[in-house]
Structure 1
Amino acid sequence: MSRVEVWLAVPVGDQRRHAHALLRRAAAAVLGVRPEGLAVAREPGGRPYVVSRPGARDHGSRPPVRVNVSVSHTRGLTAVAVCTGGDVGVDVEPARELPAVALARRWFGEEDVRWIEGHAPDLRARALLWVWTHKEALGKVLGTGLAGGGRLGPVPLPAAGLPQQPAGRPVTLREIFPGAGLTSAVPDGPEGYVLCVAGGPGTEGAEVSVTRVDG
Structure 2
Amino acid sequence: MTSFLSRLFRPLSTTSTPAYSVTPRNAIIMPDKAQKATLAAGCFWGVEHLYRKHFGNGKGLIDAKVGYAGGHADSPTYRAVCTGNTGHAEALQVIFDPSIVTYRQLIEFFYRMHDPTTENRQGPDVGTQYRSAIFTHDEEQAKIAKDITDKVAKQWYKQPLSTQIVPAGQWWDAEEYHQLYLHNNPSGYECPSHFLRNLPPLSD
Q: Which has the higher contact order (CA 8 A, sep 6+)?
A: 2
Larger radius of gyration: 1
Return the TM-score normalized by structure 1. Answer: 0.24
Pick the structure with more strand per residue.
1
Return the TM-score normalized by structure 2. Answer: 0.25
